[in-house]
Amino acid sequence: VMAQGDTTSAFIGSLAAFYSYDYFWKNQLRSTPIEVAHVEAGLRTGDNYSPYPEEMNRRLIGHIANWNFAPTLESAAALHREGIKDNVFVTGNTVIDALFETRDLVAKSGIDPVPFIPQGEKIILVTSHRRENYGEGLREICAAIKALALRYADQNYHFVYPVHLNQHVQKPVHELLGGLSNVHLIAPQGYPEFVALMARSHLILTDSGGVQEEGPSLAKPVLVMRDNTERPEAITAGTARLVGPRTNSIIAETCALLDNPLLYNRMAHTANPYGDGKASTRIVNLLRGGKADDNTFIYNPDPS
């Protein structure tokens, strides 16, 4: 069983594979357990309730898994600190593989989910759906977006927000941001359309996990509207900044990037730490019994 990420379905699938050993053994159908491989292993915030339930899901999958494919050295180190030391490989993240493939398809197809925004005018992409931000957090985010939209209204900046269908998101977003001429509240997008949106964007404001990897891979600075992140490598590398779900912080950091081209360019062109688009090839090779290539690390800081 191959589990990707930290969803509850990934955890339940891994747990079912683990529990199946008892059934197969009792019925003498097989003598070995079904092995589990965890892709995107080792991401941690250190807070079991943030994000909830994803943090606990991925912790438990890591302990069930026979193979842990970590995207970075830091995520592999997190597994090691939890006592998971065998079959931990640093491969990069398959998310980047999918992103690059989709980016190329989008470029050929000409997909554009916001054709009403003239080419050359700048898009600030906003996504916020995280459970931890429901209520006051989302209201603070919306207050920041409104203030920024008004401040940059005459500078050809457009704020595009694909709004999650959950009513905890829909209601406050439409109440607080509806009616602003340069704020475009659109429906949730399919993956190709969302990649096209990221590619057209100048800057991304998000509380998403994956976008923290995808945005920098497309040379887009990312401001993370959360109190913590399971992707500290992006913060350390300088491709993303943790600004929290607070109005003043979001406004200050956004203005700093929009008003300072040198700061913006430095952030946009910093190397992305999450891989080169070849993680899937490395994982398949390892599962087939192949050796690690020059860009795959077997994590073992303490051979003794």
Q: Is 59 a catalytic residue?
A: no
Confidence of residue 301 (pLDDT cuts 50, 70, 90): low
Please give the pLDDT value at position 290.
Answer: 75
Q: Is 129 a catalytic residue?
A: yes
Of 38, 40, 130, 282, which is the active-site residue? 40
Q: Give me the CATH code for the 2-93+276-298 domain, please.
A: 3.40.50.2000
Q: Is 54 a catalytic residue?
A: yes
Higher pLDDT, 144 or 110: 144
What confidence tens digit (pLDDT) does each residue in 199-236 have? 999 999 999 999 999 999 999 999 999 999 999 999 99
Of 129, 200, 226, 282, which is the active-site residue? 129
Of 63, 164, 168, 241, which is the active-site residue? 164
Q: Is 200 a catalytic residue?
A: no
pLDDT at 142 over 80: yes
- Distance CA(154)–CA(164), nearest Å, equals 28
Of 131, 139, 202, 241, which is the active-site residue? 131
Tell the burial category of 27 from Cβ atoms under 10 Å away from its Cβ (0-12, 13-18, 19+): exposed
Query: What's the start-to-end Cα distance of the chain, in Å?
Result: 30
Please give the pLDDT value at position 48.
Answer: 96
Q: Is 6 a catalytic residue?
A: yes
Region(s) of the chain under CATH 3.40.50.2000: 2-93+276-298, 111-268
In the chain, pLDDT over 70 holds for what percent of residues? 95
Confidence of residue 33 (pLDDT cuts 50, 70, 90): confident
What the block records as the tokens of 232 is: 């500290």
What confidence tens digit (pLDDT) does each residue in 49-99 have? 999 999 999 999 999 999 999 999 999 999 999 999 999 999 999 999 999
In the chain, pLDDT over 90 holds for what percent of residues? 86
Q: Is 131 a catalytic residue?
A: yes
pLDDT at 299 over 90: no
Reference 166, options 198, 194, 128; nearest CA is 128
| Contact (Cβ atoms closer than 8 angstroms) between residue 205 and residue 261 | no
Say yes or no: domain 111-268 is CATH 3.40.50.2000: yes
pLDDT at 304 over 50: no
Please give the pLDDT value at position 297.
Answer: 56
What confidence tens digit (pLDDT) does each residue in 239-294 have? 999 999 999 999 999 999 999 999 999 999 998 889 899 999 999 999 998 776 65
Of 38, 54, 140, 231, which is the active-site residue? 54
